[in-house]
């Protein structure tokens, strides 16, 4: 007898993230780190393109920034998530962050900086010498702690983009006008205590059972 279901039932149950995490933790297979790195890079580039294409109709600037944040799942130990967003100004640097500058005309990405986790940042900053592959990271981390990050990034890559604070300060009047107010804080009206009604205590004396009062 032919099934009346309007779709085909998939008998293969999809595994949850927790089940995949347990399987990954119990896997003793040795993987080539270079192959893993290439796979991660390919996936990140694909997601960068998706994020850029989605924001092309939204952002009018010729260049804007694509930010990648690495976040770990609070419940599943082995799960690491990549979160993508686009900004029109230089993003605020933070741990586990990579920032790219995207050009809509050339359709190319330029990596501006990459930050490791907070512990690694502190260790690298204290080290007198690091391996050649960590020298860029050490320079970015030192600039981060010296509070000269944006000036150093602009000089390093030959760009003139503003930070978030610089952008807001420059366009303050235009943003306030677009919002439709002057941005000044409004004063709250003083409370009129004459409107407070004193309850009739005689009514409370009539309440004997809380369940009965709730039903009423």
Average pLDDT over residues 106-130: 93
Q: What is the pLDDT of residues 79-91, one digit of tens each?
A: 678 889 999 999 9
**What percent of the chain is modeled with pLDDT above 70?**
60
Q: Using a CB cutoff of 8 Å and minimum separation of 24, what contacts does 106-112 make?
A: 107/52, 109/45, 109/48, 109/52, 109/66, 110/157, 112/65, 112/153, 112/157
Where is pLDDT greater, at 192 or 59?
Answer: 59
Statement: residue 17 has pLDDT above 90: no
Q: Taking 70 as the threshold, does the pLDDT of residue 103 lie above it?
A: yes
Domain ranges in the chain are: 33-176
Is the pLDDT at 95 greater than 70? The verdict is yes
Residue written as token pair 């927790």: 18
Predicted confidence (pLDDT) per residue in 152-194, tens digit: 999 999 999 999 899 888 877 777 777 765 555 555 555 555 5
Could you tell me if 43 and 19 are in contact, meaning their C-beta atoms sit under 8 angstroms apart? no
Longest dimension (CA), the chain: 84
Whether the CB-CB separation of 137 and 124 falls below 8 Å is answered with yes
Distance CA 49, CA 208 (A): 69
Q: What is the pLDDT of residue 171?
A: 77
For residue 167, what pLDDT is reported?
85
pLDDT at 36 over 50: no
Q: Is the pLDDT of residue 75 over 80?
A: no
The beta-strand segments (E) located in the chain are 63-72, 80-87, 97-103, 108-115
pTM recorded for the entire structure: 0.64
């Amino acid at each position: 007898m032919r099934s009346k279901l309007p779709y085909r039932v998939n008998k293969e149950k999809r595994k949850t993230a927790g089940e995949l995490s347990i399987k990954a933790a119990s896997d003793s297979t040795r993987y080539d780190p270079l192959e893993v790195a290439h796979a991660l890079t390919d996936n990140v580039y694909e997601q960068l393109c998706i994020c850029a294409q989605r924001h092309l109709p939204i952002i009018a600037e010729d260049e804007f920034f694509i930010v990648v944040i690495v976040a770990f799942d609070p419940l599943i130990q082995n799960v690491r998530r990549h979160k993508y967003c686009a900004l029109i100004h230089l993003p605020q640097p933070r741990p586990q962050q990579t920032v790219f500058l995207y050009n809509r005309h050339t359709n190319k990405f330029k990596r501006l900086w990459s930050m490791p986790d907070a512990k690694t940042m502190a260790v690298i900053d204290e080290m007198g010498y690091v391996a050649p592959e960590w020298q860029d990271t050490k320079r970015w981390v030192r600039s981060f702690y010296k509070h000269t990050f944006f000036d150093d990034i602009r000089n390093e890559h030959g760009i003139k983009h503003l930070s978030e604070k610089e952008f807001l300060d420059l366009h303050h009047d235009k943003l306030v006008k677009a919002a439709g107010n002057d941005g000044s804080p409004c004063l709250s009206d003083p409370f009129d205590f004459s409107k407070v009604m004193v309850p009739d205590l005689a009514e409370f004396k009539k309440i004997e059972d809380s369940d009965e009062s709730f039903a009423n």
